[in-house]
Amino acid sequence: MEILHVSAECYPVAKAGGLGDVAGALPLYLNEAGHLAKLVMPMYRTKYLYSHSWDIVHKGYTNLGNRWFEFTVIKERTNELGFDLYLLDINGLLDREKVYGYDDDTERFTAFQIAVLDWVTAWQHQPDIVHVHDHHTALIPFMMGNCYKYVSLRHIPTVITIHNAEYQGWMGWDKSIYIPPWDMWNWGRLDWNNTINPLASGIKCASRVTTVSPNYLEELKTMSNGLEALFEYEKGKCVGILNGIDSNVWDPQTDKYITHHYSVNDFEAGKAKNKMELCERFNLDFQKPLISFIGRLVGEKGADVLPSVIGDSFWHIGRRMNFLVLGSGNHHTERELERMLEQASGDYAVYIGYNEALSHLMYAGSDFLLMPSRVEPCGLNQLYSMRYGTVPMVRRTGGLKDTVIDYEDEGGYGICYNHTSTGDISQGVFRAVELYRTKKKLNANRETMMKLDFDWKTSVQKYIEVYEQLIK
Ligand code: ADP
């Protein structure tokens, strides 16, 4: 099968979160399973672009409403990522350093989707499946099925994967002129609550919908930022498929970002060396358990409760642990976390920003990884932490519930709690400190986690099943 992935992110070209990791791995593992997967994404001005060689494969001219623009598609020459990687450039819209966060994101991603379909229409052959990801590319199923100029693509099945349903790409009906001419009788396929809702449209129009964990799919039926009824209605074509880990990038034996490699056979010594490096860098006490947080500092991740959890833990449990936070996002939370340094330096450190290398060192060198998420579609952090022998401390939600079993339950290894509240999380911190004291139990948990199979090879088979059902 030939599958074309369309995504706003792809590691290592441009990544803002888990979508980047998945888009960088899924096509590779599909290819390894004997299929032909390709990926097209916007040509942001990132380091990857300038450090690789490219061939121009297509030039086109199209429009977003009454704004006409030229676009260019380039292809990475060496196939370095293990699949055909295409970048699509639109001057004035996509030539930016960051992936998201611009006032004209609606125009940027709508123009990108139109240009992608113009390009695919010009192919000499057609892909068997078009697979889109999240709201930035979710208008594609509608456009393929309804726009007159894409009538030749109408029969191609589409799949949409929902990595995060909180963001839906809402745009007013005044922007409907952006979409190439279509049969206006079908306006309901774009609409949700009197606005154009690209994510809702993707769910309505795609042949199949996947979410990044089975439990997240269940949760979406009761909590999906306004789309609950739609998920309930469309449940027949939805399936939850857990994300995997790309072992080429995330393996403590070969990780290119860490100096002290280790495996399940020598993790105690290996983790200690990485922890020492972290503690020296952030002036933390090596003897104490190190509890880390990595992620976007937003409400979804429960980042706003971190300052009170840290303060509360020091107050009630004593200074018996270290905390280390890596992330960026909400300015208020960033400032609060920085202010905590005044009262807790020596036992607490924070790095505000995005740092891929540091995140790898933290997965390797931390004892525990805190994830008090309110919403977690799959969660990759806990999968990485387990692969690196770091005990995840998670709220029972979304993919965290699918992947982490409390160490006091049968076959368990992690620490679980029910609410994103200071009390519940601090109780988890207390249990972490206690677990750290019983080294034998801690190491047994580490060994169990490191042996768990969250490989993409397993998950990719489920995507293949979805594709096969569509092209039968
Ligand atoms: P999200 O909802 O942000 O996509 P995921 O758990 O699916 O959450 O994926 C998060 C990914 O982003 C992981 O690879 C994590 O290590 C990475 N990440 C998040 N914040 C940072 C940061 N500040 N620095 C480095 N990596 C980060």
The answer to whether residues 52 and 191 belong to one domain is: yes
Query: What φ, ψ does residue 345 adopt, rounded to 5°?
Result: -65, 150
Residue 441 CB contacts under 8 Å (≥ 6 apart), including other chains: 407, 435
Instruction: Report the C-alpha gap between 203 and 226 in whole angstroms.
Output: 13
**Token representation of residue 168:** 């839906």
pLDDT score, position 418: 98
354 lines ligand 1 (CB under 6 A): yes
| Number of Cα atoms under 13 Å in the Cβ half of residue 144 | 30
The answer to whether residues 418 and 407 belong to one domain is: yes
pLDDT score, position 472: 80
Instruction: Report the C-alpha gap between 32 and 27 in whole angstroms.
Output: 9
Distance 295 CA to ligand 1 centre (A): 5
The answer to whether residues 441 and 465 belong to one domain is: no
Q: Is residue 33 assigned to a domain?
A: yes
Atom 21 of ligand 1, residue of closest alpha carbon = 295
Q: Is residue 418 assigned to a domain?
A: yes
183 lines ligand 1 (CB under 6 A): no
Distance 223 CA to ligand 1 centre (A): 22
Q: Is residue 255 assigned to a domain?
A: no
The answer to whether residues 293 and 431 belong to one domain is: yes
Strands (E), 77-116: 84-89
**Total domains in the fold of the chain:** 2
356 lines ligand 1 (CB under 6 A): yes
Instruction: Report the C-alpha gap between 4 and 32 in whole angstroms.
Output: 15
Domain containing 375 equals 267-454
379 lines ligand 1 (CB under 6 A): yes
Q: Is residue 253 assigned to a domain?
A: no
The answer to whether residues 195 and 301 belong to one domain is: no
The dihedral through the CA atoms of 278, 283, 287, 288 has a sign that is negative
* For the CA of 327, the nearest atom of ligand 1: 23
Atom 20 of ligand 1, residue of closest alpha carbon = 295
pLDDT score, position 206: 98
Query: What φ, ψ does residue 35 adopt, rounded to 5°?
Result: -105, 175
The answer to whether residues 206 and 324 belong to one domain is: no
Q: What's the 3-state SS for 149-210?
A: HHHHHCCCCEEEEECCCCCCCCECHHHHHHCCCECHHHHHHCEECCEECHHHHHHHHCCEEE
Q: Is residue 259 assigned to a domain?
A: no
Cα–Cα nearest to 371, from 392, 397, 350, 348: 392
The answer to whether residues 461 and 415 belong to one domain is: no
CA angle in degrees (0–180, nearest 5) for 315-320-326: 85
CATH code for position 450: 3.40.50.2000
**Token representation of residue 287:** 């003897």
Pocket test for ligand 1, best of 11, 293, 326, 359 (most atoms within 8 A of CB): 359
Instruction: Report the C-alpha gap between 162 and 378 in whole angstroms.
Output: 10
213 lines ligand 1 (CB under 6 A): no
Q: Is residue 252 assigned to a domain?
A: no
The answer to whether residues 233 and 280 belong to one domain is: no
pLDDT score, position 159: 98
Q: Is residue 260 assigned to a domain?
A: no
Cα–Cα nearest to 86, from 127, 58, 128: 58
- Write down how long the chain is: 472
pLDDT score, position 134: 98
CB distance 101 to 328 below 8 Å: no
The answer to whether residues 434 and 465 belong to one domain is: no
Distance 86 CA to ligand 1 centre (A): 24
Q: Is residue 304 assigned to a domain?
A: yes
- DSSP bridge pairs for 322: 290
Q: How far is CA 433 from CA 305, 321, 429, 443, in A?
A: 19, 7, 6, 14
The answer to whether residues 284 and 221 belong to one domain is: no
pLDDT along the chain (472 residues), means of 10: 98 96 97 98 98 98 98 98 98 97 97 98 98 98 98 98 97 98 96 98 98 96 97 98 94 98 98 98 97 97 98 95 97 97 92 97 98 96 98 97 97 97 98 97 97 94 98 87
Distance 163 CA to ligand 1 centre (A): 12
The answer to whether residues 467 and 432 belong to one domain is: no
pLDDT score, position 345: 81
pLDDT score, position 179: 98
**SS3 state of residue 49:** helix
Distance 294 CA to ligand 1 centre (A): 7
CB distance 349 to 284 below 8 Å: yes
Instruction: Report the C-alpha gap between 244 and 32 in whole angstroms.
Output: 14
The answer to whether residues 176 and 301 belong to one domain is: no
**Token representation of residue 461:** 């088979």
pLDDT score, position 269: 97
* For the CA of 19, the nearest atom of ligand 1: 4
Cα–Cα nearest to 36, from 464, 462, 472: 464
Instruction: Report the C-alpha gap between 230 and 200 in whole angstroms.
Output: 8
CB distance 326 to 355 below 8 Å: yes
